[in-house]
């Protein structure tokens, strides 16, 4: 009853950068129609205690049909199906190279997952459209912070979907977005010297849209993250990071704008992402700085999401970095990953059009989780290598 489709490595279209991705040994795509889930089985890897993080080569999968994605969940299992500790996943990021981001021409950060978000979802009245034949790039990193050796470890990542055209209700289409204060294709973190630091970036959306939910990602000593309409001066969203007793950033509160039918953003306006830091140390912040927002939007009116341009230099550079330099993306991979914390617990208001707009929690470029990467900075618990922010994180993914 399960039809297994092996995702082909070479499935990428002609526009994709000419890179060889060796996927076949590591990824199997299984459709479970009765449960309306698509399962990506990724592995196996052996994870000796105390061993390094293991990053698989980038995997490609091809979507077998048109569908709306409503969420995801994942678990770790061994080859015989036994559940393993979720800590064995550092992060997984899904990137859609056949669509562009809202605020940049790079490929869409579809979602990022890690220890912080093992399951996310939204009501079926909204969903992220996925197209038959669409490609998914999957970046997975395993880790073993636990207390035993593990062998034959697999990630089972399940996307919850409904088939397009089925059911009585066609879901309202929503899309993830991700943007940060750094360049689209370069490193995502920056030095935070003692005292005050402010970083910002001006961006434009590719289409008029309504932001239905928004969250963010910062590092220690951040004091504020903002998203402003630079054309009108209006502050659309502002958040102060949540900090634990030790003074470390543990998250950024997310917001949803369902009752207002979303915060409108226009492609002929400019927007500014701003992050501020106040570093009390007399040395640069050890975890560096980041300022990223992510969330979900619906398109305003009957406009269409702009097509990606396979010849756009930023698109090409980002995709090449993503595929050939996973180390860089990893750091924070933004691809979603880390970042914006997806809207948890989003509930749909009853009645009214508003209902149609629930954000899709998980997706999101919200890099949310990806986290694994959390830098030393944001995790209360020590994570030795988390991401090396220091270096090269180029962004990658993202989603994370
Ligand atoms: Cu970060």
Ligand 1 centroid from CA 97, angstroms: 23
216 CA → ligand 1 middle, Å: 10
377 alpha carbon – ligand 1 mean position (Å) = 8
Can you tell me which residue has the tokens 């550079």?
Answer: 317
Q: What CATH number should be reported for the domain whose range is 3-163?
A: 2.60.120
C-alpha angle 275-109-179 in degrees, rounded to nearest 5: 20
Sign of CA dihedral 59, 64, 68, 72: negative
What pLDDT, on a 0 to 100 scale, did the predictor assign at position 146? Answer: 80
Which run of H or of E encompasses 25?
A: none
Distance of alpha carbon 348 from alpha carbon 341, whole angstroms: 18
Non-local CB neighbours of 14 within 8 Å, separated by 6+ positions: none
Please give the average per-residue pLDDT across 169-175, as a whole number. 89
- pLDDT per residue as tens digits for the range 186-241: 888 999 999 999 999 999 999 999 999 898 889 999 999 999 999 999 999 999 99
Ligand 1 center to 346 CA (angstroms): 24
For ligand 1, the distance from its centroid to the CA atom of residue 290, given in whole angstroms, is: 6
Q: How far is the CA of 250 from the centre of ligand 1 (A)?
A: 11
Reported in sequence order, the residue ranges of 206-270 that DSSP labels E, i.e. its strands, are 209-218, 222-229, 235-239, 242-243, 249-251, 255-256, 263-265
Q: How far is the CA of 240 from the centre of ligand 1 (A)?
A: 16
178 alpha carbon to ligand 1 midpoint, in Å?
Answer: 13
Instruction: Give me the mean pLDDT over the 372-380 stretch.
Output: 32
How close is the Cα of 218 to the center of ligand 1, in Å? Answer: 6
Distance 215 CA to ligand 1 centre (A): 13
User: What pairing do the DSSP bridges indicate for beta strands 59-62 and 135-142?
Assistant: antiparallel
- Ligand 1 centroid to Cα of residue 139, in Å, is 17
- For residue 124, how far is its CA from the centre of ligand 1 (angstroms)? 31
- Condensed to tens digits (0 to 9), the pLDDT of residues 67-104 reads 999 999 999 999 999 999 999 998 898 999 999 999 99
Q: Give the pLDDT confidence score for residue 379 in this predicted structure.
A: 32
Q: How far is the CA of 203 from the centre of ligand 1 (A)?
A: 20
Give the DSSP letter of residue 220.
T
Where does the chain hold its CATH 2.60.120.230 domain(s)?
173-399
Those residues whose C-beta lies under 8 Å from the C-beta of residue 38, and which sit 6 or more positions away, are: 29, 30, 31, 32, 63, 64, 67, 158, 159, 161
Ligand 1 centre and the CA of 375: distance in Å?
6
Gap from CA of 350 to ligand 1 centroid (Å): 35
Q: Which CATH architecture is the domain 173-399 placed in? A: Sandwich (2.60)
pLDDT tens, residue by residue, 93-133: 899 999 999 999 999 999 888 877 888 888 888 899 999 98
User: Which stretches does DSSP call E strand in 302-367?
Assistant: 335-336
Span 345-367, pLDDT tens digits: 333 222 223 223 333 333 333 33
pLDDT digits (tens, 9 = 90+) for 306-344: 999 999 999 999 988 887 755 544 444 333 334 333 333
pLDDT of residue 260: 66
Give residue 316 CA to ligand 1 midpoint distance, Å. Answer: 24
Rounded to the nearest angstrom, the distance between the alpha carbon of 395 and the centre of ligand 1 is 10
Residue 396 Cα to ligand 1 middle (Å): 12
Pairing state between β 209-218 and 235-239: unpaired
List C-alpha distances in Å: 384 to 93, 94, 180, 372. Answer: 21, 24, 25, 11
């Amino acid at each position: 009853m399960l039809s297994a489709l092996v995702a082909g490595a070479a499935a990428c279209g002609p526009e994709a950068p000419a890179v060889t991705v060796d996927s076949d040994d590591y990824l199997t795509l299984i459709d479970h129609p009765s449960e309306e889930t698509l399962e990506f089985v990724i592995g196996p890897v052996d994870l000796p205690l105390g061993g390094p993080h293991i990053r698989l080569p980038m995997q490609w999968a091809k979507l077998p049909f048109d569908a709306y994605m409503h969420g995801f969940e994942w678990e770790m299992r061994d080859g015989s199906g036994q559940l393993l500790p979720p800590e064995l996943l550092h992060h997984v990021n899904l990137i859609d190279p056949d669509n562009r981001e809202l605020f940049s021409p790079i490929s869409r950060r579809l979602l990022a997952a890690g220890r912080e978000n093992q399951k996310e979802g939204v009501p079926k009245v909204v969903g992220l459209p996925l197209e038959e034949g669409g490609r998914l790039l999957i970046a997975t990193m395993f880790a073993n912070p636990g207390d035993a050796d593990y062998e034959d470890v697999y990630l089972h990542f399940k996307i919850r979907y409904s088939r397009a055209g089925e059911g009585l209700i066609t879901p309202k289409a929503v899309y993830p977005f991700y943007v940060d204060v750094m360049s689209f294709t370069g490193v995502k973190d920056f030095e935070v010297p003692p005292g005050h630091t402010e970083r910002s970036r001006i961006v434009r959306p590719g289409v008029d849209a309504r932001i239905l939910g928004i969250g963010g990602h910062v590092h220690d000593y951040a004091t504020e993250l903002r998203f402003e309409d630079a054309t009108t001066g209006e502050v659309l969203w502002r958040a102060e990071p949540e900090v634990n007793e030790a003074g470390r950033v543990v998250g950024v509160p997310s917001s949803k704008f369902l009752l207002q039918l979303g915060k409108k953003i226009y492609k002929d306006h400019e927007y500014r992402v701003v992050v501020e830091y106040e570093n009390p140390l007399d040395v640069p912040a050890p975890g560096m700085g980041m300022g990223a927002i992510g969330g979900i939007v619906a398109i305003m009116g009957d406009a269409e999401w702009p097509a990606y341009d396979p010849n756009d230099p930023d698109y090409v550079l980002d995709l090449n970095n993503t595929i050939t330099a996973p180390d860089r993306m990893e750091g924070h991979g933004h691809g979603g990953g880390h970042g914006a914390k997806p809207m948890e617990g989003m509930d749909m208001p009853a009645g009214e059009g508003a209902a149609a707009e629930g954000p899709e929690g998980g997706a999101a470029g919200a890099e949310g989780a990806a986290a694994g990467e959390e830098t030393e900075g944001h995790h209360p618990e020590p994570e030795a290598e988390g991401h090396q922010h220091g270096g090269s994180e180029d962004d990658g993914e993202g989603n994370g």
